[in-house]
Amino acid sequence: MKTIHITIVLLVVALTAVVANAKEKGQINLFCWSEYVPQSVIDGFTKETGIKVNVENYASNEEMISKLQAGAIQYDLIQPSEYIIERLVKAGKLEPIDFTNVPNFKNILPEFKNMPFDPESKYSVVWMAGTVGIVVNTEVVKDEIKSFKDVFQPKFKGRIITLDDAREMVGWALKTESLGINDITPQTLDKVKPILQSWIPLIKVYDSDSPKDKLLGGDVDLGIVWSGEAALCFNEDKKFKYVLPLEGTHMFIDSLAIPKGSKNKANAEKFIDYVLRPEVSKIVSEEFPYTNPNGEARKLLSADQLGNPASYPPKTTLEVFSDIGEAAEAVDKMVTDLKSAN
């Protein structure tokens, strides 16, 4: 009887320790772009640390901001683009990162530190960068496609795919008028409205999540997509060509950041440090071949990976989005209205 009693006591103590340990390890709520964080990376982090990662995806920065502001879920880690980081910093909505918990930050290349949207690298760590460009199935489209104007031709009606992103679309139209992607005023919006009005009826599919699927499946033959999606098409079949538009284009920079009030800040910082390990960052590049800002991880990539023209395009003049404040509502409304009228 005594032995049984001691055994039960020991089991209770052990279970209490397990529960306490699980509580101590905790969790993080990660809100990120779809098809951007490999499941194997999440599983590896949880296996090593015991920290559970709850993942929710979004398809646009605007969707992310909307849910963040709604406050239904307290996110611990988000993955905004450059202009959204800028907006959140201005609004005091991000926690400063304690970089003593992120020693692997040293692996980030100098050109991806102290960027204009976070000049002291205080609130964010770059996850991946990339461009927005043109992908062409050269077996079907025999024309030489060099510019946004080349894509949006009536003869390609019903064969075009684009990102479902109002800010991007307005940016493309602005570039065709030799304007900057951040030159957004009532006057410039009036100027590009007829351009978008002529483009929208030509588009077959809007897809910011996985445009490569429609291209690889033959549903569409050309379009304007994220560079990582174009890189995956190129890896699958060399008939796909990636083109940086002659007019110029947008370089996006997506970063990890911790929202104000995160209840699991230390765990979020552990995750950031984990993904900055070269061998982990290499996994991200292998699954989602964008431009990797991790210098040590790049050393682990193959010549073919580094030679993918969509992942690592030729050096050229690129622009990043800046926060345009309330003008963002005018951009969204104009594009939504034009789509609805089509």
Q: What is the pLDDT of residues 303-330, one digit of tens each?
A: 999 999 999 988 776 899 999 999 999 9
Residues 191 and 50 in one domain: no
Residue 330: inside a domain, yes or no? yes
User: Residue 342: what pLDDT?
Assistant: 85
Residues 111, 218 within the same domain = no
Q: Return the pLDDT at 1.
A: 46
Would 311 be classed as within a structural domain? no
Residue 4 lies in a domain: no
Low-confidence ranges of the chain (pLDDT < 70): 1-24, 317
Q: Are residues 190 and 334 in the same domain?
A: yes
| 112 and 46 assigned to the same domain | yes
Q: Angle at Cα 227 formed by Cα 320 and Cα 279, nearest 5°? A: 100
In this structure, is residue 1 part of a structural domain?
no
321 and 82 Cβ atoms separated by less than 8 Å: yes
Check residue 281 and give its pLDDT.
98
Of 178, 316, 166, 182, nearest to 247 by C-alpha is 178
Pair (205, 191) in one structural domain: yes
The dihedral formed by the CA atoms of 216, 218, 219 and 223, expressed in degrees to the nearest 10:
60
* Domains in the chain, number: 2
The CATH code of the domain that includes 72 is: 3.40.190.10
Considering the domain architecture, whether residues 190 and 290 belong to the same structural domain is answered as no
**Together in a domain, 243 and 189:** yes
Whether 73 and 149 map to the same domain: the answer is no
Please check whether residues 139 and 217 belong to one and the same domain. yes
Domain containing residue 153 = 130-251+316-341
pTM value is 0.87
Tell whether 332 and 233 lie within a shared domain. yes
User: Could you tell me if 176 and 285 lie in one domain?
Assistant: no
User: 84 with 113, same domain?
Assistant: yes
- What pLDDT, on a 0 to 100 scale, did the predictor assign at position 9? 42
Query: Considering Cα of 116, then 118, then 121, then 125, what sign does the dihedral take?
Result: negative
Report the pLDDT value the prediction gives residue 4, as an integer from 0 to 100. 45
**CB of 175 within 8 A of CB of 148?**
yes
